[in-house]
Amino acid sequence: MTATPPGGRIDETLPFKPVHIAVLTISDTRDEESDTSGAILAERLARDGHVLVAKALVRDDVEQIRSQTRRWVDDPSIDVVITTGGTGLTGRDVTPEALRPLFDKEIEGFATVWHMVSYQSIGLSTLQSRACAGVCGATFVFCLPGSNGACRDGWDKVIRWQLDSRHMPCNLVEIMPRLMER
């Protein structure tokens, strides 16, 4: 039995299509061993039937974030990039500044839904997050905060459902083949 998504349903008569995902942790303090947020995302996406194609960790540096994301966006085997970290308000938090210029289209609704979900977990503290998402070429990019709770909420309550090809009334997987239409 499949879990029920908030505000939608899963059509069990449709086939599930695994999505190829890369996870990028952005942090000045974490290393591969202490990267719990990246590990949570990797575990959850695999649990839900998707494929972890790549995983990396870079410093809170605009050029490092852009460079790694560009490599993945240019790789036709990667459908989605999920970043964790660098979305706060401190001077070192530069993920939105690094990635928004790469977006062909920003997914404004993601930030709205993210804050609704986050508010349920952390209340008004959600206003300190600049989580965002966009489309870069044929790749979806989601930028989540770096906390474990934010990664759990972001995946379990938002991203997971839009990357499930059976989610109705619509999902992001069904429009992937049309992202490059002009």
Strands (DSSP E) along the chain, which ranges? 9-10, 20-26, 51-58, 80-84, 105-106, 132-136, 139-144, 167-168
| Domains of the chain in sequence order | 9-173 (3.40.980.10)
Query: Which residue in this structure is represented by tokens 């500044």?
Result: 97
| The token pair that represents 37 in the structure block | 């947020």
- pLDDT digit string, tens, across residues 49-70: 999 999 999 999 999 999 999 9
How far is the C-alpha of 10 from the C-alpha of 36, rounded, in Å?
29
- pLDDT digit string, tens, across residues 132-149: 999 999 999 999 999 999
pTM over cut 0.85? yes
- pLDDT digit string, tens, across residues 69-95: 999 999 999 999 999 999 999 999 999
